[in-house]
Amino acid sequence: MKILANDGISKSGVRALENAGFEVITTRVAQEQLANFINEEKITALLVRSATQVRKELIDSCPSLKLIGRGGVGLDNIDISYAKSKGLKVINTPSASSASVAELVFAHLFGGVRYLHDSNRNMPLSGDSHFKDLKKNYSAGTELRGKTLGIIGLGRIGKEVARLALGVGMKVIASDDHVGELEITLNFYNDQTVTIPIKTEPIADLIKDSDFITIHVPAQAKSILGKKEFEQMKHGVGIINTSRGGLINEEALLEGIENGKVAFAGLDVYDNEPTPAIKILMNEQISLTPHIGAATLEAQDRIGMELAEQIIAILKSEKV
């Protein structure tokens, strides 16, 4: 059986699949050529990340497909219900990249409170001629310790963010439509642990009381943070989005930065990916990354192995 990993897969995942008797193809096939390639090669399983779209038309055009795998959490680039109605298995790796995304949240947070995103733009330009001026400009940073982090969405990634926040010494407010209360366990040297209970709060309280806000929910029909929500936030709030583009109204965010309500933002996802708005890209108070939340070597290895294990269990047991 042939597997097409169209958006790539880790070497460990390839080895595991090949050892189980599968042929793994990692050639990147353009979206418009994908159906023909799948049919010509009689592909049984299609593995994607966020780039490849698996819509109704592709599913209908490829009768050899038995399984669709998404390396990551979100499944919004796959017509899941339709695929399942056609008898296809749809799998993903919801927990493999949680730690990597959570650490990127804190990369943006640490960079934002110390102006690293702006300093790294300006030091190469004028660090040799205006060093003292730059030092003065970036000498009003703040600490994360003791501040309040609001986490919208307390799923796997939200929990990892909460764990890091508590370890840094932050206070945590969380809001979630499905979670009422949970426990976060911090692990230390010599098997020491500390368990901290967290009760979720209404999102209105989170928005009002947080020094920093980070979003960890699936794609939504409309933004979660818009003009009304920004007006209710603390003055000088920091905003992080490593989840999905569209969860923050970008015009409202830019307005909040302009009027001082928002001190900085950290964005890994954008409206209109892969062509974010120029106003977002050029704003000096926004820390920017190109949708790399899950893109660590460790996460990619876990994703590849988790996909491989699921594929082997499903396809070998069903002998499709």
For the annotated catalytic residues, the residue numbers are 244, 273, 291
169: left (phi over 0), alpha (psi -120 to 50) or beta: left
CB atoms < 10 A from the CB of 270, how many? 21
DSSP the chain: -EEEETT---HHHHHHHHHTT-EEE-----GGGHHHHHHHHTEEEEEE-SSS-B-HHHHHH-TT--EEEESSS--TTB-HHHHHHTT-EEEE-TTTTHHHHHHHHHHHHHHHHTTHHHHHHHHHHHTTTSHHHHHHHT-----STT-EEEEE--SHHHHHHHHHHHHHT-EEEEE-SS--EEEEEEE-GGG-EEEEEEE---HHHHHHH-SEEEE-----SS-SB-HHHHHHSPTTEEEEE-S-TTSB-HHHHHHHHHTTSEEEEEES--TTTTS--HHHHT-TTEEE--S-TT-SHHHHHHHHHHHHHHHIIIIIHHT-
Distance CA 152, CA 283 (A): 24
Distance CA 52, CA 58 (A): 11
Distance CA 259, CA 249 (A): 16
Copy the structure tokens of residue 273: 């990916």
